[in-house]
Chain A
Amino acid sequence: MLRYLLGRIACSAAAVWLVATLTFLLLHAVPGDPFSTEKGVPQVVLRNLAARYGLDRPLWEQYCRYLGGMLRGDLGLSMRYPNRTVAGVIAQGFPCSAAVGLLALSFGFPAGCLLGVASALRRGRVSDRLLVGAALVGVSVPGFVAASFLQYLFGVRWGLLPVAGWGTLRHLVLPSLSLGLWVAAVSARLVRAGMVDVLGEQYVLYARAKGMPGRVVVFRHAFRNAVLPLASALGPVAAHVVAGTFAVEQVFGMPGLGKHFVQAACNLDYTLVMGLAVFYAALLSAAVLAGDVLCAALDPRIRLGG
């Protein structure tokens, strides 16, 4: 197990390095630079700014300096926010995105699992059709649509919760609800599909024939196997939700990481884009690894590394 984990961590490190390198090359291949604006910024000023950030050095030298800094934990200064470090921007934005993401996961997953199981058990009946339809809607409706709708309903129409902003527990509710609905829909679909498969297996039939109570059959035997597809999807879904979703954060005016992913690219803020790419790659690798370990824990047939 330990050897497997170490091997996986080495692979993740290589993946993160690859992401960093590709991002670096792509950024420098795009026309434009971080400092040009529509205004008449004279060449002189552009040159002074480039010198300040080391952009006038040859490309390989910039790359080595950047990698060296990254290994030391220094991701550089943001070019758009000249007084803030990239690490600082990430450290400030991540807790907000993570709080909302974790809250969304904590009720989205269980809700989705319960609904998926219920739906599978009533397969073919009206209630199943309704649940499947609801899950489909939940997955298809874009995040900002759900978010705007909830914002209007709870914030403006009924005035129960703050429309936008950040700071109190009440600001957490609507964004995590918007995200959680999507998580629940995804989970419900995966669990239902898994359960439908498993419930048709021989050993389930055997357990029922033996006279085991329905609930024991479903939850001790069937569910554990049905939840495997969800467990392997858990990693990427969790990473996606926790790292910050742009649309929901934009609608609710949350100071999370989501908008930085988009804005940094639009501003061609080299250091911030690189920092965010590396951060997300590391987060995703860790989440996928956790998902794989969870799968192995659930299903003894899966031998890690075997």
Chain B
Amino acid sequence: MKSVARVLAVLLVAVLAVSCLSGCGQKASAPERPVRVLRLNLGEEPPDLDPGTSHDSVSLQVLNNVLEGLVRVGPGEKIEKGSGLAADWSASSDGLRYVFTLREAKWSDGVPVRAQDFEYAWKRVLDPRTGSSYAYLMYGIKGAKALNSVDPKAPASEIEAKMAAVGVRAVDDRTLEVVLERPVPYFLSLLAFPTFFPVRRDVVEKHGDAFASEPDRMVYCGPFVIREWQHEAKMVLERNPSYWDAGGVALDRVEFAMVKDQNAAVNMFDAGELDAVMVPGEFLEKYREQGLLKPVPVAGSWYLMYNLKKPAFRSVDARLAFSLAVDRRQLADAVLKNGSLPAASLVPPAVPGPGGRPFTEAVGKLFPESADPAAAREALARSGFPAGRKVVLLASDTALQKKVAAALQEMWRKNLGVEVEVQSVAFKVWIDRMKKGDFDLCLCGWGADYNDPMTFLDLWVTGAPYNSGGYSNPEYDRLVEEASACLDEAKRFGLLVECEKLIARDLPAAPLWWPVRGFAEKPGVEGIVRHPVGADLDLKWAKVK
């Protein structure tokens, strides 16, 4: 029928026309923008903006810019009095008692920030009923672990009693007293972490479960406020006029896209839709040539964890053999190709050591960059490793880990003559099996919880939560215990260096590489601070020309 064809044709043309018309013409009239906007990519929808429960890196990036704690870590990782909401503080000589004096500051709704907001927030994190994943960061505080360990279904009176015994107290509106169980040398840097941010009791009680799920269901005390939040699509921050240092904030607006695909994000940067972007490995060279690349050290470390409980790796010589057979330089340059560095020890150089210098300078090179097949085979023979024994390497199923696992498999086949079976499993399955010790070798990555070598070294204490390889050395435990309580900085770092040396000797794990992130920024963008650890994005000092 003629009319059917005509109808179809007209429909087709109409739809195409609408698409095209909506597509053309608008490029000429760019939308009006206020001056000083920074456009960034958050990567995905922030799952949880409640500072007490948030534990994912995306949410933490937002929180660090719309809220503030007692301390704000500055560029160069400096911790200074008055950088955050605490104008001043004093610590007792035994390192067990801190008293913070708050500055005059207001929340975005005009209500003053009080010490009670901190006391309420910290106790809320430790309250077992809140279910906070990062409560353990507060375990250095007196009574904290005891409160958090109570059964959430226990009677409220029991929980309240334990809460009253926690060593956090608002002496008055401007003074906060904190009592610790044992001295924590890096306590001040912990305070910059969003888990320790203040929270307003009245706002939480008003919104209940919906607290922090929308911009108008929270209040802000940081350099920016959330002006707009289109879930999964876009978030817009605006300068917070109530911020105590509003004059020091150089941006008017921050627009966050939520594009997960790294290639799409890079395309957006090229097309001028983003002002800064994280650069995946393949593009590092391109932006380096354009002079736009900024490498950022990451306080993270990737290593091979051995299962000392399985027959294959009971002998230290077997563990040594597998470590010697790995060519770390080749792994970093030819397989990873993303600027990562071959690891010479466990703790990465981004973590400070004595005198603020990288900790790695004090440790030295404990693991070689190149493989030594002869020495590896010798060590394997010494260990009595039977020929033909198969070994399982557990890894997660990301593209990167699959590549690394395949490369390692090849290195062991070539340099050691051992067949390793790679099992690449989904992330959640990997966590489960790793915790249960269902592996001979496990490819693991660890990111620092706080900026101190201890966060990498206390992983190997007997019975530590992720020490599923079963490493147990009373000498190591003693070193860690002593370092935890030591107040003399030089002596403490000395003990931590000893820990690294013990790891290199006993080999519960073999470090492989230290990751590095690369960012491209448009010319004219400056002042974006990216911390190697903790809430890593800080836009307070960012500028756009």
Contacts and interface: CB of A to CB of B under 8 A. Distances in A.
Interface in B8-30: 8-9, 11-12, 15-16, 19-20, 22-24, 26-27
Given A83-B212, A165-B234, A253-B261, A44 B431 contact: no
11 contacts: A36-B428, A42-B135, A45-B135, A48-B128, A48-B148, A82-B53, A114-B12, A152-B267, A155-B267, A253-B258, A255-B230
Interface in A205-225: 215-216, 219-220, 223
B13 to A, nearest CB: 10
A305 interface: no
Contact of B465 (A42, A151, A160, A250): A42
A156 interface: yes
Given A38-B466, A48-B131, A173-B22, 7 more contacts: A31-B429, A35-B133, A45-B131, A107-B12, A164-B261, A164-B264, A177-B19
- Closest 6 interchain pairs by CB? A255-B232, A253-B259, A32-B428, A83-B213, A169-B22, A220-B1
Contact of A170 (B23, B432, B445): B23
B449 interface: yes
B189 to A, nearest CB: 17
A253 B263 CA distance: 11
Contacts of A41: 133, 136, 465
Interface string B261-303: 1011101101101000000000000000000000000000000
Given A38-B445, A45-B148, A173 B429 contact: no
A253 B16 contact: no
A163 B23 contact: no
B55 interface: yes
Interface in A251-290: 251-256, 259, 266-268
A182 to B, nearest CB: 16
A73 to B, nearest CB: 18
A66 interface: no
A170 B431 contact: no
Nearest to B426: A266
A123 interface: no
A167 B263 contact: no
A250 B12 contact: no
Nearest to B145: A44
Nearest to B434: A38
A186 interface: no
A156 B444 CA distance: 37
Contacts of B49: 83
A202 interface: no
Given A37-B55, A160-B24, A165-B273, A173 B258 contact: no
Interface of B: 1-2, 4-5, 8-9, 11-12, 15-16, 19-20, 22-24, 26-27, 45, 47-50, 53, 55, 128-133, 135-136, 148-149, 151-153, 209-213, 230-234, 257-261, 263-265, 267-268, 270-271, 273, 426-429, 431-433, 435, 444-446, 449, 464-466
Interface of A: 30-33, 35-42, 44-45, 47-49, 51-52, 77, 80-84, 92-93, 96, 103, 106-107, 110-111, 113-114, 148, 151-152, 155-156, 159-170, 172-173, 176-177, 215-216, 219-220, 223, 250-256, 259, 266-268
Nearest to B54: A82
B1 A151 contact: no
Contacts, number: 205
A294 to B, nearest CB: 15
A176 B19 contact: yes
Given A159-B271, A266-B426, A253 B149 contact: no
B427 to A, nearest CB: 6
Given A37-B133, A162-B273, A164-B257, A31 B428 contact: yes
Contact of B433 (A31, A83, A167, A170): A31
B428 A39 contact: no
A251 B445 CA distance: 27
A268 B22 CA distance: 40
Contacts of A256: 232
B48 A83 contact: yes
Contacts of B444: 38
Given A32-B432, A160-B24, A219-B1, A49 B131 contact: yes
Contact of B153 (A51, A96, A155, A176): A51
B283 to A, nearest CB: 13
Contacts of B148: 44-45, 48
A106 B15 contact: yes
B79 to A, nearest CB: 23
Contacts of B209: 77, 83
Most-contacted residue by chain A among B45, B50, B129 (CB, 10 A): B45
Contacts of A164: 257, 259, 261, 264-265, 267-268, 273
